[in-house]
Each structure stands twice: as structure tokens, then as C-alpha cells.
Amino acid sequence: MISDKMLKMLNDQINAELFSSYLYLSMAAYFESENWNGMAKWMKEQSSEEYEHAMKFYHYINEVEGRVELEAIEKPKFGWNSPLEAFEEAHKHELYITDRINKLVALAIQENDYATNLFLNWFVNEQVEEVATVSQIVHKFKLIGDNKTSLYLLDRELGMRASK
Ligand code: FEO
């Protein structure tokens, strides 16, 4: 049986993951409006992954016989000044999510909640991967600058992201 405090934090994380999904979908829509179809594809995949993350928390809460409680999802930002700005925000957002996951782990350890700690391990690894991936993309955008041909090629590369 998990504590009420743990349950509340897990439910809050469902909301944070759904917001991530919403934020990345908003970024995808921005890219579509600017005809960066590869970047849009990448962000739509990312948005789907975030929904899956939310569902992992949803299933775990049910498994431990907690009650899933959904809250309103905040409106995400509507537009960005450049693809670089959007990906920089995605990077910042992933660092924020990592911090949230770390806080969840800290509570699980504090409460000797071994099952929740084990469940969260997957997210600890996932966050390392996600932060690194977005960081590499930001780095590429910075290298490219305003070079249109390179931006076109990067858009194509991002559009090759496979669906899970
Ligand atoms: Fe579910 Fe990108 O953190």
C-alpha cells in the first residue's frame, strides 16, 4: 500500500506527463505552420511518448490499488520565434521533468517504498536519454545557425524518427 503523499505525487506526475505531451504537440503544430514537417513529425512522436509515460503512471497507480485522479491540463505555449527556441524550451522542460522524477525517487526512498522506487527506475533512465537526445538536437541547431541548406537537412533527419 502506498502512502497518500506518494499517491498524490504520482497523480501529479500523470498531469505533468500529459502537459509534456500537450506542450510537444503545440510545438509540432508550430513546426507544421512553418512547414518544418520533419521537426513536426519528431515532436508528434515525442508527444505520443509522453502520453505513454502518463499511462505508465496510470497503470502503476491502479496496480497498487490507488485511485487515479485527473486534473486540468495547463494550456501550453502557442508559438516560438525559431525552431532552436522551441527545442531549447523542450530541453529545459526535460530538465524540469528529471527534477520531478528525482523528487519522486527521494520520497520513495524516504518511505521505504521499494516497489515504487523500482517502478521509477525506468523513468530515471528514460530522463537521462531524453535530456541527452534533446541536448544533441539543440547543439546541432546552434552549429547550423541560419544556414538554410543545413536546416533543411536537419529537418529531414528529424523527420526520420521512427514511430514506437
Ligand atoms: Fe516523460 Fe519527456 O518526460
pLDDT of residue 94: 98
pLDDT of residue 164: 74
The pTM assigned to this predicted structure is 0.96
The string of pLDDT tens digits covering residues 13-27 is 999 999 999 999 999
CATH number of the domain located at residue range(s) 4-158 in this protein: 1.20.1260.10
Determine if ligand 1 sits within 6 Å of the CB of residue 13. Answer: no
pLDDT of residue 79: 95
Residue 88 Cα, ligand 1 centroid: separation in angstroms?
15
Q: Which atom of ligand 1 is nearest to the CA of 17?
A: 1
Spatial distance between the Cα atoms of 28 and 119, rounded to a whole number of angstroms: 30
pLDDT of residue 103: 98
pLDDT of residue 163: 85
- Mean pLDDT in residue range 37-53: 98
Are 22 and 127 contacting, i.e. CB atoms less than 8 angstroms apart? no
Nearest CA among 82, 81, 101, 95 for reference residue 134? 95
pLDDT of residue 67: 97
